[in-house]
Amino acid sequence: MVDATQPAASKSLPAATIRAEEAAHFGKLAAEWWDPKGSSAMLHRLNPVRLGFIRDAIDRHWRLDGECVRPLTGKTALDVGCGAGLLCEPLARLGAHVTGVDAAPENIAAAQAHAAGSGLTIDYRAGELSTLPAATFDLVTCLEVIEHVADKRAFIGELAARLAPGGLMILSTPNRTPQSRLLLVDAAETVGVIPRGTHHWDDFATPDELRELLAGAGLAMGEPQGIAFSPTRGLHLSPDLSLNYIVTAVRSA
Amino acid sequence: MDDKRDLVILGGGLVGMTLALAAASKGISSHVVDRADPAELTAEGFDGRASAISTASWNLFANIGIADALEPFACPIERIAVSDQLKPGQIDFVPEPHEGSLGRMFENRRLRLALYEAAERQPLIAFHPGAIVTRRERGAHGVAAQLADGRVLEGSLLVGAEGRRSPTREEAGLQLAQWDYRHRAIISGLTHSAPHEGTAWEIFYPAGPFALLPMLDDEAGNHRSALVWTVAEKDAAGTLKLSDRAFLAEANKRMGGLLGTVTAAGPRSSYPLSFQHTARIVADRLALVGDAAHGIHPIAGQGLNLGLRDVGALVEVIADGMRLGLEPGDAQLLARYERWRSLDSMSVALATDGLTWLFGVPGKTASAVRRLGMGGVQRLSPLKHWFMDEARGVSGALPELLKD
Question: DSSP of B30-47, one letter per residue?
Answer: EEEE-SS-HHHHT-SS--
User: Is some CB atom of chain B closer than 8 A to the CB atom of A85?
Assistant: no
Angle among Cα B168, B172, B173 to the nearest 5 degrees reads: 120
Domains along the sequence of chain A with CATH? 20-251 (3.40.50.150)
| B112-143 confidence digits (pLDDT tens) | 999 999 999 999 999 999 999 999 999 988 99
The Cα of A133 is separated from the nearest Cα of chain B by a number of Å equal to 27
Interchain proximity A55–B141, CB inside 8 Å = no
Percent of chain B whose pLDDT exceeds 90: 48
Q: B24 and B120 in contact (C-beta within 8 Å)?
A: no
Nearest-angstrom CA–CA distance, A19 and A125: 19
> Is it the case that residue B1 has pLDDT exceeding 80?
no
Q: Which residue, A154, A113, A147, A122, is CA-closest to A10?
A: A147
Interchain CB contact of A118 with B (< 8 Å):
yes
Q: B-chain residues within 8 Å CB-CB of A55?
A: 323-325
Could you say which DSSP state residue B104 is in? E
Nearest to B326 among A34, A37, A90 (CB): A90
Return the minimum-mean-pLDDT range out of A62-76, B90-104, B181-195, B306-320: B90-104
CB B262 within 8 A of CB B40: no
B323–A contact, CB cutoff 8 A: yes
The mean pLDDT values, 10 residues at a time, for chain A of 253 residues are 38 46 54 79 90 97 90 97 95 98 89 88 93 94 92 95 97 91 75 76 92 97 93 86 95 87
Task: Look at residue B260 in the predicted model and tell me its pLDDT.
Answer: 94
How many Å separate Cα B326 from the centre of its chain? Answer: 30
Flag whether pLDDT at B297 surpasses 90. no
B286 touches chain A (CB under 8 A): no
Cβ under 8 Å to A: B residues 20-59: 27
Round to whole Å and give the CA distance between A104 and A28: 10
Question: Hey, is B360 helix, strand or coil?
Answer: coil
Q: What is the mean pLDDT of chain B?
A: 84
Question: Whole-angstrom Cα distance, residue B356 to residue B209?
Answer: 8
Average pLDDT score over residue span B102-106 = 88
Which residue out of B323, B333, B334, B401 would a mutagenesis test of the A interface target, given it has the greatest number of A Cβ atoms within 10 Å? B323
A236 touching B (Cβ < 8 Å): no
Option in A34, A51, A114 nearest B326 (CB) = A51
Rounded average pLDDT over B365-375: 53
CB contact under 8 A, B325 and A45: no
Q: How far apart are CA A135 and CA A140, in angstroms?
A: 12
Instruction: Flag whether the pTM goes above 0.90.
Output: no
* Sign of the torsion formed by the C-alpha atoms of A98, A58, A114 and A161: positive
User: In angstroms, rounded to a whole number, what is the distance separating the alpha carbons of residues B41 and B47?
Assistant: 11
Residue scoring higher pLDDT (B203 or B380): B203
Max avg pLDDT among B198-212, B245-259, B351-365: B245-259
The crossing angle, in degrees rounded to 10, of helices B331-359 and A41-61 is 110
| Region of residue B180 (phi > 0: left; psi between -120 and 50: alpha; otherwise: beta) | beta
**Cβ <8 Å between A47 and B321:** no
| CB neighbour list of residue A240: distance below 8 Å, 6 or more residues apart | A226, A228
Q: Which residues, 6 or more positions from B340, have their beta carbon under 8 angstroms from its beta carbon?
A: B313, B317, B397
pLDDT for A104 equals: 87
pLDDT at B231 over 90: no
Quick one: B65 exposed, middle or buried, by C-beta within 10 A (0-12, 13-18, 19+)?
middle
Q: What is chain B's length? A: 404
Mean pLDDT of B154-168: 94
* Other C-beta atoms lying within 10 Å of the C-beta of residue A76: 18
> Tens digit of pLDDT for each residue in B63-98?
999 999 999 999 998 888 878 788 776 777 777 777
Judging by beta carbons within 10 Å of its beta carbon (0-12, 13-18, 19+), is residue B43 exposed, middle or buried?
exposed
Q: Which of B323, B330, B331 is facing A55, going by the closest CB pair?
A: B323
Let me know: does A130 contact A108? Beta carbons within 8 Å.
no
Interface test with B, best of A5, A34, A47 (most B CBs within 10 A): A47
